[in-house]
Amino acid sequence: MITLKEVKTKKDLKAFVKFPFKLYKDSEYWVPPIISQEIKTFSKKENPVFDDAEAKLFLAYKNNEIVGRIAAIINWLEVKSQNQKKMRFGWFDFIDDIEVSQTLLNEVEKIGKEHNLDYTEGPVGFSNLDKVGVMTEGFDSIAPMITWYNHPYYVKHYEAANYKVEKSYSESKFPFENVKPEFFYKAQELIKRRYQLRALKLTKTEEVMPYADKMFDLFNESYASLSSFVAINDVQKEYFKKKFISFVNPEYIKFVVDKDDNMVGFAIVMPAFAKALQKTKGRLFPFGFKHILHAKKHSKDVIFYLIGIHPDYQNKGVHAVIFNEYYNTFREKGIETCFRTPELEDNEAIHKIWKHFFPVVYKRRKTFRKNIA
């Protein structure tokens, strides 16, 4: 018999966060989160997303042992402002037992019905900057820190619960040697002259901060047309600046501005922290920081986390300016492999940006949906 327990105490929350450590203890490809940071993600005092969202966390027990978990999430900005009556769920992990996964999903569906929502979708986080999708291909490669990893059996559990594919994502990679400057060098010089643009040279985190709000504003503008996009508000900007900016090498953040210093393009690349995070075993102290800092300085792999172009400048080649800046940085750093985060497979605009680098898809993932109205 499966029993559910809502997470109410610090002890329960820690158990919720640590369950995957047991589920994936024998996996060489799963990457653990930092336990303390994951706990803060679900703190109403720490995470401003709770100003406009709510979440209930559940643990599933069998024979007095934890065998599954799920986060049932409602983003009220999405529901009320966009009229997307969606019940989100994420952090969905379970043993290979259909009764366990079904019991957890039933609870999510129940909450959705209580709030008169139309459908459930997952796995997703609170917003577009959270992890997304259940892996359907690529189980034999390490997961980046910004994605979920899961066992191959997960998909059959969604299907058994009558969930249908809602969105499809792909993750790709390409060797840096595929990046040929002749594809963009002359073009970017012409584009900078034509539109009076310049790329900012950033070497210190404090140089990034004055432009961070402009970056998030541009993120909101450039991604607004994507499905289920929820804009980042001012309070969340401060949270993400504190959480992410110091994590990223400043030279891996590229801003393109016009003659009036208005931002027209940006990109964020992160060092590949996955192997370092495996060494931390979920803890920054006493030695976890050492592994993270080493990866930040010496990783030969990078992950393209975000790239955004102002709608008025899309299809005008601004990305060539950004790629030229990265080419020079990566060449100096001896970067070997470039990875891309999950991108919607129907986002043709983003795929065109990368075509000259001949990327190879190495992972695929999907979100699943079920109507409950």
State the pLDDT at residue 258. 96
**Which stretch, 110-114, 268-272, 274-278, has highest mean pLDDT?**
110-114
Question: With contact defined as beta carbons under 8 Å apart, do 293 and 300 qualify?
Answer: no
Contact residues for 296 (Cβ-Cβ < 8 A; gap 6+)? 247, 249, 271, 273
pLDDT score recorded for residue 365: 97
User: What amino acid occupies position 69?
Assistant: R
> How far is CA 103 from each of CA 92, 100, 108, 150, 258, rounded to the nearest angstrom?
12, 5, 9, 19, 54
Read off the pLDDT band of 163 (50, 70, 90): very high
**Which pair of tokens denotes residue 278?**
């495996």
The closest alpha carbon to 282, from 43, 65, 22, belongs to 22
Q: Where do the CATH 3.40.630.30 domains begin and end in the chain?
A: 2-170, 175-363
Query: Which position has the token pair 């796995």?
Result: 123
Phi then psi dihedrals of residue 370, to 5 deg: -145, 130
pLDDT tens track for 321-345: 999 999 999 999 999 999 999 998 8
- Cβ(157)–Cβ(104) below 8 Å: no
Query: Average pLDDT, whole number, for the chain?
Result: 93
Hey, what are 372's tokens? 């409950």
Share above pLDDT 70 across residues of the chain, in percent, rounded to a whole number: 99
SS3 content of the chain, % helix, strand, coil (to 5): 40, 25, 30
pLDDT in tens, 23-41: 999 999 999 999 999 999 9
Mean pLDDT along residues 127-144: 92
Confidence of residue 213 (pLDDT cuts 50, 70, 90): very high
| Three-state SS at 237 | helix
User: Is pLDDT above 90 for 238?
Assistant: no
- Which one, of 251, 338, 269, lies nearest residue 307 by Cα? 269
Tens of pLDDT, residues 41-100: 999 999 999 999 999 999 999 999 999 999 999 999 899 988 899 999 999 999 999 999
pLDDT number for residue 125 = 95
3-state SS class at 179: coil
Residue-level pLDDT at 36: 95
* Fold that domain 175-363 belongs to in CATH: Aminopeptidase (3.40.630)
Nearest by Cα to 265 from 218, 210, 207: 218
Residues 6+ apart with CB under 8 A from 29: 139, 140, 141, 142, 143, 149
Region for 200 from its dihedrals, namely left if φ exceeds 0, alpha if ψ lies in -120 to 50, beta otherwise: beta
pLDDT band at 228 (very low <50, low <70, confident <90, very high): low
Q: Which string of b and e fits 242-274 if b means at least 16 CB within 10 Å?
A: ebebeebbbbbbbbbbbeeeebbbbbbbbbbbb
Record: fold of 2-170: Aminopeptidase (3.40.630)
Residue 202 has pLDDT above 80, yes or no: yes
At residue 227 the predicted structure's pLDDT band, cuts being 50, 70 and 90, is low
Flag whether pLDDT at 234 surpasses 90: no
Provide the 3-class DSSP secondary structure of residue 294.
helix
* Predicted pLDDT of residue 245: 81
Task: Show the tokens assigned to 133.
Answer: 């999708």
- Band the pLDDT of 235: cuts 50, 70, 90: confident
The pLDDT of residue 190 is 94
- 288 pLDDT band, cuts 50/70/90, is confident
pLDDT for residue 130 is more than 70? yes
